[in-house]
Amino acid sequence: MKRSLPPCYRPFQTSVLRNDFRRLAIYILLLTYFCYTFYHASRKPLSIVKTVLHRSSVNGQPKTVGFTSEGWKPFDSDNWSQLLGGLEYIYLFVYAVSMILRRGLIMGLWNSHTSLGNIIGSVIAGIYVETNWGASFYLPGLIMMVGALVVYLTVIEHPNMLVYNSPSSDKTGTQIPMSGSIYGENIDRDMSDKDGLRPLISNTEATRPISFIEAILLPSVFTYSLLLFFTKLVSYTFLYWLPNYLTIVEHVSAEQAAKLSVLFDVGGIIGGVLIGWFSDSQSNGQNLNEDEKTIKKRALACLVMLACAAPLLLAYRFMTSTNSLMSLILLTCCGSAINGPYALVTTAVSADLGTQSALLGRTRALATITSIIDGMGSLGAALGPLLTGLLVPYGWSVVFAMLITSDLLAMLMSIWIVVNSSRRQQRRTYYRLQSTITT
């Protein structure tokens, strides 16, 4: 079936992109980034609006026992926290089920769309939460619709419809060839012979898609999945419950809580960039041994940040009620320490595990491994807000104990990865020396 071009593609191509490949590449990069940003902005309003769906304070003072004159049904009842936790769980669980170079720094910058979207969503929701909270939902939705319309009008359906001058072409105007090789079937597979090591997947199987079981049994895939599970549990608990926590503990308005919660996402951007830069140091995976070093380096970077997160969470719990500058700094630091590992695992680590030399160019493995890691992480993201809703009646100290426990479990997973990667490196070094001696 013949594919038709988008309605505005030709005028946009000639007037804005001017048939230039570099302009097209930059445009697609920015458009993709902001579409993801708009998507994340649409998720944030629920965490802001819940502060008016259930009123935890009146005129800055805590509610008295039995007070139900403010709030929206059914969230004005005594089981409001369970209802809100269940609402978030339903949304995030459906999302989770559907999931199932200098990579670190680049991906750290790229993943900032998550925190930027959360910031935009918080600002929009904060403006309307006290006056017209419905606008907190439909305005991000309208922004997403505009982004979708731009994509529909200007982006072609398939790369083989593209005819542009190559960025490396000469003045004769050589065009970019588009063929089925874009998926990388012709990757050089001689890398399997490096270090005299046997690849994890045989060369004869290189064209066959990797199965779920094969992917989960690859080194570090399942462990990194568990690491992301516990990390996203903490991150999404903050995402959906931080504004509510601020209104209850600091007795601020819903609008002020929305503004203060932005600091957590600002810290997330900083943490994502820092951990990506740190993990890139001496991480150039070119063969099996170098891949192992890269995976270990990423886990070590996660370990450092997760080790910082636990005391930061504890300190923030005791400093929040003081409404001081220190509590704001701690909130930003918590965002860095929690969202840093989350950003690294969902981007650079998934790409590392899905493109390691042992897979022999089986590019379909990347999608399978990424879906396993992200799917497991999304299950943690769904579980965190649900558990928080169940634990809130017992006090916020219990909630923070749950968050610190999850952080420590994530740290344990990173230690496991570092130790096992070191052992595999030692074994490979030993076998290589033995092979050298015998020859």
Q: Report the CATH number at residue 369.
A: 1.20.1250.20
Alpha carbons 234 and 107: distance in angstroms, whole number = 21
The residues with which 303 forms a beta bridge, in sequence order, are none
Residue appearing with tokens 């042992």: 358
Alpha carbons 339 and 337: distance in angstroms, whole number = 6
Is the peptide bond preceding residue 11 cis, with omega within 30 degrees of 0?
A: no
Q: Would 214 be classed as within a structural domain?
A: yes
User: Per-residue confidence at 35, pLDDT binned at 50, 70, 90?
Assistant: confident
Q: How far are the Cα atoms of 57, 263, 339 from residue 270, in angstroms, in the given order?
A: 33, 11, 9
Q: Would 393 be classed as within a structural domain?
A: yes
Q: Would 286 be classed as within a structural domain?
A: yes
Are residues 217 and 368 in contact, defined by beta-carbon separation less than 8 angstroms?
no
Q: Would 210 be classed as within a structural domain?
A: yes
Q: Would 216 be classed as within a structural domain?
A: yes
User: Per-residue confidence at 62, pLDDT binned at 50, 70, 90?
Assistant: very low
3-state secondary structure (DSSP) of residue 324:
coil
Q: Would 344 be classed as within a structural domain?
A: yes
Q: Would 17 be classed as within a structural domain?
A: no
Model pLDDT for residues 118-164, shown as the tens digit of each residue:
777 777 777 776 777 778 788 888 888 888 888 888 887 766 666 55
Are residues 81 and 240 in contact, defined by beta-carbon separation less than 8 angstroms?
no
Percent of the chain with pLDDT over 70: 64
State which residues form the domain around 273: 79-112+189-438
Query: Which pLDDT belongs to residue 178?
Result: 46
**What's the total number of domains in the chain?**
1
Q: Would 118 be classed as within a structural domain?
A: no
Model pLDDT for residues 167-177, shown as the tens digit of each residue:
554 444 444 44
Query: Which pLDDT belongs to residue 187?
Result: 37
Model pLDDT for residues 228-263, shown as the tens digit of each residue:
999 999 999 998 888 888 888 888 887 788 888 888
Does 23 score more than 80 pLDDT?
Answer: yes
Q: How far are the Cα atoms of 88, 90, 137, 413 from residue 140, in angstroms, in the given order?
A: 18, 20, 6, 36
| Average pLDDT value over all residues in the chain | 74
